[in-house]
Amino acid sequence: MLGDDWCVCCCANLADILLQCPSNHRIYCAGCFERLVEDARRARRELKCGKCMRGLKGGRYSMPISCVEVQLEATRIADVYADGKAYPWEVLLDFGSPQGPADLDTMRSVREAMRKCQASGSRTKLREQLPEMDVEYVFLELIKTVNLHEVLLHLEPLMCRAMPLAEVTTLGVAGAIAGAFLGPAVAVVACPILAAAGGMLGDAMVRGKGRAYAIVGWQCPEHTVVNECAERLGINLDVDGFMEAREKFQQRVVWEELEDAAETKDASQHAAYIADWQPVRNFYAATLCGPYLRQSKGCGDGPGSQKEVGIYINVMKVRGSPNEDWKLARSWFGSAMNAPVSDGDTQKVEVYTLYL
């Protein structure tokens, strides 16, 4: 199967049908294909694939095959075009404070600062050239070639397990913090309960104030899973504070070689490290939020505080029946008109947060 993930006609919908050309290209959404068929019938001309320019089986009466559940392209920051002056991948900064879309001017300033930093051979000068908030965008620029769909595939066991009693699909930022306040001492033991309570409370707190973003889109994993992820990142959960752990994660990915990290490091390994960071970050949010996290070194709004950044990514999950586990199907930035946020029995679309 060849083609695109977005419709090449409208660029607003996901491509979701296979054409009956020799290569079965997927380049159109169903709505645009219907309009092309109607135009061909009125003009009495042959209907051809817009990719290979070969005729379709059945001619003007060709019936396409539904194919919405297959990802063909990488989900990369580098491939996203700015809409006007803003990028469709929105960001979180300052521990869960929504910033909205990243704008073109900010990213241009970040790239210029990185260029000067590379020329001088010192990344410490980045903080001298950029506002505190904008420094966080540097990491996004360094990982812009990483396939974030691959990150989600690493996380699929945590994202897509079926929950027999209730399925937590959106955990609000406020809910995660509130959940930690309710029981930080027992958060590790009662993590699923706190996650559910925090999610519902978070959704209630942000309802009416716009979209509720997931602080953790997957179930809270067992402590052994978190330990394994932390070990691969070189993080000691018993010793390292949140900002220390985050610095180790970023160093493991690209910070060590700022000059050529984006080009030379293994993007697949980057994806694995970013995936490992999500449950580790979840652990800190669930057990150290509130007074505990704010008292830890370099966290919250205390002395030496730093910011954190996350990006929102749309995820489509599918399953054959309500009794089966969900399977990750597609991911993309921004909104698709034919794939809005939804919660069906066999298909759902959710917004997840990848923390960086």
Do residues 281 and 151 make contact, with C-beta atoms less than 8 angstroms apart?
no
Query: How many Cβ atoms are within 10 Å of 210's Cβ, its own excluded?
Result: 8
Do residues 189 and 228 make contact, with C-beta atoms less than 8 angstroms apart?
no
Q: Mapping DSSP to helix (H, G, I), strand (E, B) and coil, where does residue 158 land? A: helix
* Residue 307: predicted pLDDT: 64
* Residue 327: predicted pLDDT: 93
For residue 345, with 0-12 CB atoms within 10 Å meaning exposed, 13-18 middle and 19 or more buried, which class applies? exposed
Nearest to 155 by CA among 345, 13, 350: 350
Sort strands 65-66 and 86-93 into parallel, antiparallel or unpaired.
unpaired
For residue 203, with 0-12 CB atoms within 10 Å meaning exposed, 13-18 middle and 19 or more buried, which class applies? middle
133: Cβ contacts below 8 Å, ≥ 6 apart? 93, 94, 99, 307
CA-angle at 188, arms to 185 and 191, nearest 5°: 110
The span from the CA of 276 to the CA of 278, in Å, is 6
CA-angle at 350, arms to 345 and 355, nearest 5°: 145
Question: Residue 27 region, left (φ>0) first, then alpha (ψ -120 to 50), else beta?
Answer: alpha
For the segment 318-330, what is each residue's pLDDT rounded down to a tens digit? 999 999 989 999 9
Residue 135: which pLDDT band, with cuts at 50, 70 and 90? confident
Q: Which two tokens stand for residue 47?
A: 């209907």
- What's the longest Cα–Cα distance across the chain? 73
Residue 184: which pLDDT band, with cuts at 50, 70 and 90? very low
Do residues 313 and 149 make contact, with C-beta atoms less than 8 angstroms apart?
no
Length of the chain, please? 356
Q: Which two tokens stand for residue 331?
A: 């991911």
Residue 2: which pLDDT band, with cuts at 50, 70 and 90? confident
Locus of tokens 């509720």: 212
DSSP bridge partners of 14: 6
Locus of tokens 């002056």: 85
* Residue 55: predicted pLDDT: 87
For the segment 86-96, what is each residue's pLDDT rounded down to a tens digit? 777 666 655 55
Q: Which two tokens stand for residue 205?
A: 């707190």
For the segment 62-88, what is each residue's pLDDT rounded down to a tens digit? 788 899 999 999 999 888 876 667 777
Question: What are the phi and psi torsion angles at 170 (to 5°)?
Answer: -140, 115
190: Cβ contacts below 8 Å, ≥ 6 apart? 183
Q: Is the pLDDT of residue 316 over 70?
A: yes
Residue 171: which pLDDT band, with cuts at 50, 70 and 90? very low
The helix (run of H) or strand (run of E) holding residue 141 is helix 132-142
Question: Mean pLDDT throughout 134-143?
Answer: 83
For the segment 24-51, what is each residue's pLDDT rounded down to a tens digit? 899 999 999 999 999 988 988 888 888 9
- Could you give the domains of the chain? 1-73 (3.30.40), 77-82+85-355 (no CATH)
For the segment 246-290, what is each residue's pLDDT rounded down to a tens digit? 989 988 887 554 444 444 456 788 899 999 999 998 888 887 553
* Residue 255: predicted pLDDT: 59
Beta-strand runs (E) in the chain: 17-18, 65-66, 86-93, 97-103, 310-318, 327-332, 342-343, 347-355
Sort strands 86-93 and 327-332 into parallel, antiparallel or unpaired.
unpaired
